[in-house]
Amino acid sequence: MSSPESAGRVPILALSLAALFPLTACSDLFGPTTPNDFGNLECSVSRSALADGGPPPDGIPSLQNPEFVDPDAPGASYLRDRDRVIGIVVDGEAWAIPHNIGWWHEIVNLDFDSGLQLAVTYCPLTGSSLVFDREVVGGATFGVSGLLFQNNLILFDRNDPASLWFQMDRQARCGNADGTRLAKYPSMETTWYGWRSLHPETRVVGGDTGMDRNYQVYPYGNYEATGGLLFDQPNVDTRRFVKERTLGVPEDDGRNALVVPFGELEDAEEGAVALARGDARGGPVVIFWDERAQGAMAFRPVSEGTTFTFSVEGDRIVDQETGSSWRVDGLAEEGPMANRRLEPIPEAYVAFWFAWLAFHPEAEMWEGE
C-alpha cells in the first residue's frame, strides 16, 4: 500500500457518553467542521426520507490510508479476539479494518500500489460493512455526510460538485452521479481471532490514527443489544431480533435476493461449521459459516469449471466430487482441490436484520436444513 495520507486532527466535543449517545447518528458528534451544503442537490428520493444525524459533513472524520501494523505490534493492542473486523485480500495480501475503527470513522479510504482504490465502509446503526471500488468517482475519497437514509450511512464524494451515495443502496441518489452504482469489492466480516486464524500474516489498521479516539470503547452504549433504533423507521421486520447479524446476497435485474441470519447458521449443524444453499442473482449460491470465527462468506460453488456439491462432515465442509475440505473463506485446504478457491460473490455483505430487510424487502430468508 502506498504511504498514508495526512489525517488532520478534528477537535472532540467534550461530552460524556451518556450525553453523547442520544445525539449521535452513524457516529459520535464532532465539530465544528464544514456546514451542511448538500441542500442544493437534486435527489431521486424524497428529501423527507433523509434524516439529519447531527454532525455536519466531515464531522465524523473518514480516514485516508491509515497506518497498518502487524497483528502483534503495540499498535494492534486495542483489539480483542472477539472484536469484529472487515477483512479483504488484495494481490494476495490480507488487510483488516476493525469495526472499532468504523465506530469512530465509518469510512477508510485506501490506495494500493497496484492502483486499486477502495473505500471500506461501516455504519454502526445498521451494522453494515461494504467495501467499494472508488473508480466510479475517479478515485476521489469519500467522506461522511452526516445524513442518514433508513438509519443508514450516506457518503459524499470529494468531487466538485459532490454527490451523495447511500451505503446499503450501493449507489448515488443525490447530485450529478444520481443512479450511478458503486462496484463492490469482496470482503469478509469475522472476529479478529477468526481473521488472524485464516491470515496470520495480515496487517491491521493501527490504533495511532493521529486522532484522539479510544478504539476500545464502543460509543453507542447498549445499542446492539436492544431492539430500539435511533431514528424512527416504518415497517421494521420483526421476524428476527432486529440487530441480528445477517449475510445477504442482493437482487439484481429482478432476480431474487437471499438473506441468511447468523442464528440460522449457528443452529444448522452440530459442528463448528455450517453451510447454506440457495439461488440469488440468477445462479446457485453457497454460504460457508464458521461459528468459532462468527464469520460467513458467499460463493459460487464453482472452481476452474467444476461445480461442487458441499456437505458438513464433523467440523469440515467437504465437496462430494473430490472429498476436499474447504475453509470458510473459500480456500480448499486438504484433498485434490487443495489451494484452489471458490469465486466469492462481491455483492454479498453483512448487516443487521432490520436493515437488510428494509433495503431488500422481498429477500428470501434461508432457514436451516
Task: Compute the distance between CA of residue 205 and CA of residue 39 in angstroms, rounded to an integer.
Answer: 34
Q: Are 280 and 249 in contact (CB under 8 A)?
A: yes
Q: Which of 242-256, 298-312, 331-345 has the lowest mean pLDDT?
A: 242-256
Grid cell of 25 as nine digits: 447518528
User: Where do the domains of the chain lie, and which CATH numbers do they carry?
Assistant: 17-205 (no CATH), 245-365 (2.102.10)
Q: What is the reported pLDDT for 279?
A: 75
Q: Please, are residues 236 and 354 in contact by the beta-carbon 8 Å criterion?
A: yes
Q: Which cell numbers in the block locate residue 174?
A: 443525490
To which residue does cell 440469488 refer?
A: 280
> What is the arithmetic mean of pLDDT over 361-369?
84
Q: What is the pLDDT of residue 234?
A: 87
Q: How many Cα atoms within 13 Å fall on the side-chain side of residue 105? A: 32
Convert the pLDDT of each residue in 116-156 to its tens digit: 999 999 999 999 999 999 999 999 999 999 999 999 999 99
Alpha helices (H) along the chain: 17-20, 99-105, 192-198, 262-268, 353-359
pLDDT at residue 37 tops 80? no
Distance CA 6, CA 303 (A): 42
Task: Specify the residue for cell string 450516506.
Answer: 154
Tens of pLDDT along 150-197?
999 999 999 999 999 999 999 999 999 999 999 999 999 999 999 999
pLDDT 10s digits, 328-359 = 999 999 999 999 999 999 999 999 999 999 99
